[in-house]
Chains A and B, each alone.
Chain A
Amino acid sequence: GAVVSQHPSRVICKSGTSVKIECRSLDFQATTMFWYRQFPKQSLMLMATSNEGSKATYEQGVEKDKFLINHASLTLSTLTVTSAHPEDSSFYICSGRSGNTIYFGEGSWLTVV
Chain B
Amino acid sequence: ILNVEQSPQSLHVQEGDSTNFTCSFPSSNFYALHWYRWETAKSPEALFVMTLNGDEKKKGRISATLNTKEGYSYLYIKGSQPEDSATYLCAFRTSGTYKYIFGTGTRLKVLA
Contact = CB atoms under 8 A, between A and B. Distances in A.
B and A form one assembly = yes
Contacts of B42: 106
Binding site of A, secondary structure by majority: helix, strand, loop or mixed? strand
Interface of B: 4, 32, 34, 36, 41-46, 49, 89, 98-105
Given A49-B99, A97-B98, A100-B32, A42 B104 contact: yes
B94 to A, nearest CB: 12
Contact of A43 (B4, B43, B45): B4
Nearest to A59: B99
Contacts of B99: 46, 49
Contacts of A106: 41-43
Nearest to B5: A43
14 contacts: A1-B46, A4-B43, A6-B43, A32-B98, A34-B98, A42-B104, A43-B4, A43-B102, A46-B100, A46-B101, A102-B34, A103-B43, A106-B42, A107-B43
A43 B98 contact: no
Contact of B46 (A36, A42, A43, A103): A103
Contacts of A36: 102
A42 B89 CA distance: 12
